[in-house]
Structure 1
């Protein structure tokens, strides 16, 4: 399923990570998935502070390049890509895949 995201220009790695931080599925050149647990902690804190119970995605710009975290049920899809300028194309492809 997620393998097809690698056809989108700029995407280097995708991984579907479960609530325990384990990789369910992945494709492409490896990325550090430890960022998923840290991202979940940030999202949880923001949800509490803002009184929200859902989220759409979180963009992190780290040393290895931008990473988009997108919820999918109780899992998170990590999408590592080359350039923040590609964010619109990446979000569109991720949403199309997950819908």
Structure 2
């Protein structure tokens, strides 16, 4: 199974508008989006900065590793999930249609994230 297939499976979950696998350098490795969804190709750098800020905050507060970052907007939240695979760092970025989709999408992420790690090894 390839990264694209895993992302497409996540994209089939009701409430997911777009998702992307982003490398630690901020470049989008692979992404998918529904029709009329925001472009994912240009959000890697901003998402990487948001994750770096969350990690700095976690370090300062001594809260442990960041497991997920959610940024909520009127048009729907964005979830950032860090993925450590061996020596490499990635991030799964998921754009949702509304806050009401959070539970369903988070539940699916519990299945998808381990599969992404397997594919990335």
TM-score when scaled to structure 2?
0.73
Equivalent residue for 1:18?
23
Larger radius of gyration: 2
Contact 2:18/2:31 (<8 A) preserved = yes
Q: Which whole-Å deviations, capped at 9, do the CAs of 1:7-49 have from their partners, x for residues lacking one? A: 1001000001000000111001324514312312221221221
1:94 pairs, out of 92, 99, 109, with: 109
1:83 aligns with 2:98: yes
1:54 pairs, out of 62, 65, 72, with: 65
CA RMSD of aligned residues (A): 1.6
Contact 2:17/2:96 (<8 A) preserved = yes
TM-score when scaled to structure 1?
0.88
Give the ranges of 4+ consecutive aligned residues of structure 1 lying more than 4 Å apart after TM superposition.
Answer: none
| Count of paired positions | 99
The worse-fitting range, judged by mean Cα deviation, of 34-43 and 78-87 is 34-43
Contact 2:72/2:78 (<8 A) preserved = yes
5+ unaligned residues in a row in structure 2: which ranges?
Answer: 1-5, 115-121
5+ unaligned residues in a row in structure 1: which ranges?
Answer: none
